[in-house]
Amino acid sequence: MTVVTAGPGYLPSVAARAWRWAPEMEEVADTLRAADLPADMAEATARALSFWEQDMEQYDLPVAQVLSQLRSGRTA
């Protein structure tokens, strides 16, 4: 995953694709737990990315809606 700092207007594009990486972050968390390492960051990332699953491939969402998904904690 590449992180691009292009400003808030780029966020809808990120949300439209970010949900794809939630399962991989769950795997990272599992791997960390199996190695007896902290998995909190990977778990939190997976959770945050999954909030955008309902927005998959919707590149034209308003930034306010994208941020609202994170605030509300809703998943698809």
Cβ proximity of 76 and 54 under 8 Å = yes
Q: Given this model, what pLDDT does residue 42 score?
A: 96
Query: Mean pLDDT, to the nearest integer, of 23-34?
Result: 96
CB distance 48 to 70 below 8 Å: yes
Q: Say yes or no to pLDDT of 9 above 80.
A: no
Tokens matching residue 46: 């997976």
Q: Does residue 59 contact residue 16 with C-beta atoms inside 8 Å?
A: yes
40-67 pLDDT tens trace: 999 999 988 888 888 778 888 888 888 8
Which pair of structure tokens corresponds to residue 26? 């769950």
How far apart are alpha carbons 43 and 64 in whole angstroms?
24
Residue-level length of the chain: 76
User: How does the average pLDDT of the chain come out, rounded?
Assistant: 83
